[in-house]
Amino acid sequence: MLNQVAELDRVFHALADPGRRMMLERLSKGPASVSELGKPLAMSLAAVVQHVQVLEESGLVRSQKTGRIRTCSLNPATLRSAEHWISERRTLVERRLDRLGEYLSETADSPDAVPSAPNPPGNTSP
């Protein structure tokens, strides 16, 4: 369990940076070299390499070096694990909201519904 939490922490840390998200967006179209990933970003090649390292450590990106060129590709399995975690939370919240909606619907239609709160002192409106 702790290992899964640490993995998610690394993924969300990697996704927290706009530059890294742009790199992932580019990689969603297919593999790219580190220099291709850095072209649209206003940062040095060294900074791009550091960002790629964070993406690799999170498991979101894999890279392969051939000669002097490092080619990166997206690892969809890691994205799916983060998506699954988010989906589970969303499902829990939606279930709670559904139950709340059902309860409110039942109590609004029930003749035994809780009466509305009395008017505060000095307020004569019904």
Comparing 37 with 6, which gets the higher pLDDT? 37
| pTM, full prediction | 0.71
Can you name the residues that pair with 72 across neighbouring β-strands? Answer: 32, 63
Residue 125 has pLDDT above 60, yes or no: no
pLDDT digits (tens, 9 = 90+) for 69-90: 999 999 999 999 889 989 999 8
Q: What was the pLDDT predicted at 98?
A: 84
What domains, with CATH codes, occur in the chain? 2-77 (1.10.10.10)
With cut-offs at 50, 70 and 90, classify the pLDDT of residue 107. Answer: confident
Strand arrangement of the beta sheet that strand 69-74 belongs to:
32-33, 69-74, 61-66
Gap between the Cα atoms of 11 and 37, Å rounded? 19
- What per-residue confidence (pLDDT) applies to 78? 92
